Homo-oligomer: A and B are copies of this chain.
Amino acid sequence: MEDNLLLLSNSKTHNMGYLAHAREALLDFLDGHRTIYFAPYAAAKTAYDSYTATIQEAFKANDFDVKVIGLHTVDQPAMTLREAEVLFVGGGNSFRLLKTLQQLDVLNVVRERVTGGELRYMGSSAGTNMSCPTLRTTNDMPIVQPTSFASFGLIPFQINPHYQDPVVGSTHMGETREDRILEFLEENDVPVVGLREGSWLRKRGAHLTLDGLTAARIFRRHTEPQEYQPGSDLSWLLTLHATFDQNR
Is residue A142 contacting chain B, with contact meaning CB distance below 8 A?
yes
Q: With a CB–CB cut-off of 8 A, which chain B residues contact A164?
A: 172, 174
Instruction: Find out whether the CB atom of B45 lies under 8 angstroms from the CB atom of A180.
Output: no
Chain B, Cβ-Cβ closest to A142: B136
CA distance A140 to B175 in the complex (A): 8
Q: A172-B162, A173-B10, A173-B12 are in contact. Are A141 and B44 (CB under 8 A)?
A: no
CA distance A89 to B51 in the complex (A): 41
The stretch from A64-72, A74-82, A143-151 touching chain B is A143-151
CA distance A139 to B164 in the complex (A): 15
Main secondary structure on chain A at its contact with chain B? loop
Q: A46-B248, A183-B44, A248-B44 are in contact. Are A172 and B197 (CB under 8 A)?
A: yes
Q: How many identical subunits does the complex contain?
A: 2
CA distance A134 to B174 in the complex (A): 20
Is residue A181 contacting chain B, with contact meaning CB distance below 8 A?
yes
Instruction: Find out whether the CB atom of A141 lies under 8 angstroms from the CB atom of B139.
Output: yes
- Kindly identify, within residues 112 to 159 of chain A, every residue whose CB is under 8 Å from any CB belonging to chain B: 134-145, 148-149
Most buried by B among A12, A135, A140, A141: A141
Is residue A96 contacting chain B, with contact meaning CB distance below 8 A?
yes
Q: With a CB–CB cut-off of 8 A, which chain B residues contact A137?
A: 141
Is residue A35 contacting chain B, with contact meaning CB distance below 8 A?
no
- Kindly identify, within residues 156 to 206 of chain A, every residue whose CB is under 8 Å from any CB belonging to chain B: 162, 164, 167, 171-175, 180-181, 183-184, 186-188, 197
Is residue A222 contacting chain B, with contact meaning CB distance below 8 A?
no
Instruction: Find out whether the CB atom of A142 lies under 8 angstroms from the CB atom of B148.
Output: no
CA distance A175 to B93 in the complex (A): 10
Instruction: Find out whether the CB atom of B180 lies under 8 angstroms from the CB atom of A140.
Output: yes
Q: With a CB–CB cut-off of 8 A, which chain B residues contact A174?
A: 10, 139, 162, 164, 197
Interface string of A8-44 (1 = CB under 8 A from B): 0010111100000000000000000000000000001
Q: Of B10, B46, B93, B136, which contacts A141 at CB under 8 A?
A: B136
CA distance A25 to B96 in the complex (A): 38
Instruction: Find out whether the CB atom of B173 lies under 8 angstroms from the CB atom of A247.
Output: no
